[in-house]
Amino acid sequence: MDAYDLFTSCRKGDISRVRYLVEQRDVDLNVRDKWDSTPLYYSCLCGHEELVQYLLANGAKCEANTFDGERCMYGSLSDSIRRLLKEYKCITAQAMQRDYYDHFLLTLLEQGQYSDVKFLVHGETFQAHRCVLSARSEYFTAMFETKWKGKNLIPLKHPLINPAAFGAILQYFYTGRMDIDVSHVEDCKRLAKQCKMGDLIDELESKCKQVYEFVSNKPGTCVKVLTLEPHSCQHQEEMAQLADCALPAELKVGFGELPFDRTDNFPSYPDICFRVEGYNFLCHKAFFCGRSDYFKALLQDHFSEGEMMQSQPSTPVLTIHNISHEIFIRLLYYVYSDDTELSPENVFDVLCVADMYLLPGLKRLCGKTLAKMLCEDNVLHMWKTAKLFRLSRLEDQCTEYMAKIIERLVEQPEFADMIKEDAGAVEDRHETDSIPLVDDIRFHITSNVQTFSAIEEANVKLDALDQLLSTIGLEC
Phi, psi for residue 315 in degrees, rounded to 5 = -105, 115
- Output the average pLDDT for the chain: 88
Confidence tier at 2 by pLDDT (50, 70, 90)? confident
The stretches of 176-284 forming alpha helices (DSSP H) are 185-194, 198-217, 232-246
How many other CB atoms sit within 10 Å of the CB of residue 181?
A: 16
Mean pLDDT of 106-117: 93
C-beta pairs of 461-467 under 8 Å, 24+ apart in sequence = 461/403, 461/406, 461/407, 464/406, 464/407, 464/410, 465/406, 465/410, 465/438, 465/441, 467/410
Instruction: Give 403's Cβ-side CA count (13 Å radius).
Output: 23
Q: Is residue 476, in this structure, part of any structural domain at all?
A: no
Are 298 and 345 part of one and the same domain? yes
Are 242 and 363 part of one and the same domain? yes
Are 137 and 172 part of one and the same domain? yes
CATH number at residue 66: 1.25.40.20
- The domain tally of the chain equals 4
Cα gap 365→343, rounded to integer Å: 11
Cα gap 202→214, rounded to integer Å: 19
Cα gap 199→205, rounded to integer Å: 10
Report pLDDT digits (tens) over 54-81.
999 888 888 877 888 888 998 898 989 9
Residue 427 is predicted with a pLDDT of: 57
pLDDT at 331 over 50: yes
What is the maximal distance between C-alpha atoms in the chain?
Answer: 82
Q: How many helices (H) and strands (E) does the chain have?
A: 25, 8
CA 302 to chain centre: 29
Residue 459 is predicted with a pLDDT of: 93
Residue 40 corresponds to which amino acid?
L
Q: Which domain holds residue 224?
A: 100-230
Residue 383 corresponds to which amino acid?
W
Report pLDDT digits (tens) over 411-441.
999 999 999 988 887 755 555 567 889 999 9
Pairing of strands 117-121, 153-156: parallel
Are 15 and 109 part of one and the same domain? no
Are 50 and 124 part of one and the same domain? no
Mean pLDDT of 229-253: 86
Crossing angle of the two packed helices 325-337 and 232-246, in degrees rounded to 10: 140
pLDDT at 261 over 60: no
N residues, the chain: 476
Least confident of 200-204, 253-257, 325-329, 449-453: 253-257
CATH number at residue 148: 3.30.710.10
| Burial (Cβ within 10 Å: 0-12, 13-18, ≥19) of residue 75 | middle
Domain boundary pick from 336, 368, 400? 368
Are 42 and 108 part of one and the same domain? no
C-beta pairs of 229-238 under 8 Å, 24+ apart in sequence = 229/32, 229/176, 229/177, 230/102, 230/175, 230/176, 230/177, 231/176, 232/176, 234/176, 235/175, 235/176, 236/337, 236/338, 236/339, 237/337, 238/135, 238/136
Residue 234 is predicted with a pLDDT of: 85
